[in-house]
Amino acid sequence: MSYFSRRKFLGKTGALLSAMVAAGFITSTAMAADYPTAEVNTTGLAVTDDTVTVGILHSLTGTMAISETGAQEAEKLAIKQINESGGILGRQIKIIQEDGASDWPTFAEKSRKLLRNDKVAAVFGCWTSASRKAVLPIFEQENGILYYPTFYEGLEQSKNVIYTGQEATQQILAGLDWVAEEKGAKTYFLIGSDYIWPRTSMKIARIHIEKVLGGQVVGEEYKPLGDTQFGSIINRIRLRKPDVIFAAVVGGSNVAWFKQLNAAGITSKNQTLLTLSVTEDEVLGIGGENLEGFYSVMKYFQSLDNPNNVEFVKAFKEMHGADSVIGDVTQAAYLGPWLWKAAVEKAGSFDIDKIVEVSRTGEIELDTAPEGYVKLHPNHHLWSKTRIGQWNRDGQATVVFESDLIEPNPFPEGYQ
């Protein structure tokens, strides 16, 4: 990049992109003429001499919109910054956005449209494991690439998916180890929404509690996604008096769950609660007063104090409003376009098979992620840290624990 191009670049995108240049994540402003379309697109993707088209597929409506809105906002921010820094192989990124509408058949239908009709070069999307499972056969059949941002249960590895969130060993097991050691927990009440991620997560949690930690599960309950009636479960929690409520309630149901807990007098003053599924995005609806003192286990919190995150939060709020918040999945979604850019530029091609090949080298890494250094493992998951955040009344979390980098292991022995 020339001196004058670099000055223009820095003027537009600020210190975050400057750090990316310094770290080598952004290497240069490639010219499209250096990468002829016929050479970088041999499989008929939506790539022209000037543009490359990608898809964004999240729930903008329905019960999951509370969780997924931030993810698509972060993906748009990353794409805007990439375009301002010169694009990818000299091409500006265009977006086709679809609404999964919190409905798994709709996710499947929209992914089929994006891949078959629109021929997008990549898709950034999904949130729930149910939506990911619904689209997975289509991505594998059509040989598309999905960058999936959500913490999930593991037990999956696909050529056609890059998982930028945590798998079970990086969230569930690490979180349970912390609460057992820090709180001396022996008894656990498990609760989740009724679909694949919470049920599989709680199956893994039960094995770990009983066989590794020597604890006891005194209750396990599930409610349909979107359900708002938790009174009977709260009564059972009161009766069984667990040391820890271990929760994976998802989406809009979280609002009712935490408000009803608070109304029933179950607060952090008398109960330890550790959740897998509440980020700053959900807190907007739940209210900090209903969460104060409870814990979430994530890899990212908006309150992280590092230069990368300070610049990221600033850029996000400038684009999406001063009152916007950033949760774990939102940050993981932001990584997707940058990881895709790195893979495309390393491969010198938009072809999916070539992107997958370089993604499996273990050489795609990012020093400038808001969460801190991450690296893509050959199993398509990220090395990342586990953090425990304790919620404050203002809707932000104080990080009370941070692990070293944890190698992703989506198929842990003894938990399958």
Mean pLDDT over 69-94 rounds to: 97
CATH number, span 169-298+388-402: 3.40.50.2300
Nearest Cα to Cα of residue 252 among 222, 223, 228: 228
- Arithmetic mean of pLDDT, 149-178: 97
pLDDT level of residue 16 (50, 70, 90 thresholds): low
Instruction: Quote the pLDDT of residue 270.
Output: 98
Q: Token pair for residue 25?
A: 């994540």
Q: How confident is the model at residue 33 (pLDDT cuts 50, 70, 90)?
A: confident
Query: How many angstroms separate the CA atoms of 358 and 343, rounded?
Result: 6
Q: Are 76 and 324 in contact (CB under 8 A)?
A: no
The answer to whether the CB of 264 falls within 8 A of the CB of 258 is no
Q: How many CB atoms lie within 10 A of CB 183?
A: 13
Strand order in the sheet with 244-248: 216-223, 187-193, 244-248, 272-275, 295-298, 387-391, 397-402
pLDDT 10s digits, 291-334: 999 999 999 999 999 999 999 999 999 999 999 999 999 999 99
pLDDT for position 385: 96
Structure confidence by residue, pLDDT tens digits, 332-348:
999 999 999 999 999 99
Q: Which amino acid type is present at position 315?
A: A
Q: Whole-model pTM?
A: 0.91
Whole-angstrom Cα distance, residue 248 to residue 298? Answer: 12
What local confidence, expressed as pLDDT, does residue 6 receive?
Answer: 33
- Assigned CATH for 51-166+305-384: 3.40.50.2300
What is the model's pLDDT at position 31?
A: 75
Q: Check if 51-166+305-384 and 169-298+388-402 are the same fold.
A: yes
Separation of alpha carbons 31 and 89, rounded Å? 6
- Of 5-14, 196-205, 209-218, 404-413, give the lowest mean pLDDT range: 5-14
**Mean of the pLDDT values across residues 176-186?**
98
pLDDT grade, residue 27 (50/70/90)? Answer: very low
Q: What is the pLDDT of residues 97-150, one digit of tens each?
A: 999 999 999 999 999 999 999 999 999 999 999 999 999 999 999 999 999 999
Question: CA nearest 40: which of 5, 101, 90?
Answer: 90
Domain ranges for the chain, please list them.
51-166+305-384, 169-298+388-402
Other CB atoms within 10 Å distance of the CB of residue 263: 11
Whether the Cβ atoms of residue 385 and residue 318 lie closer than 8 Å to each other: no
Average pLDDT, the chain: 93
> What is the model's pLDDT at position 11?
38
**Neighbouring residues of 11: CB distance < 8 A, sequence distance ≥ 6:** none
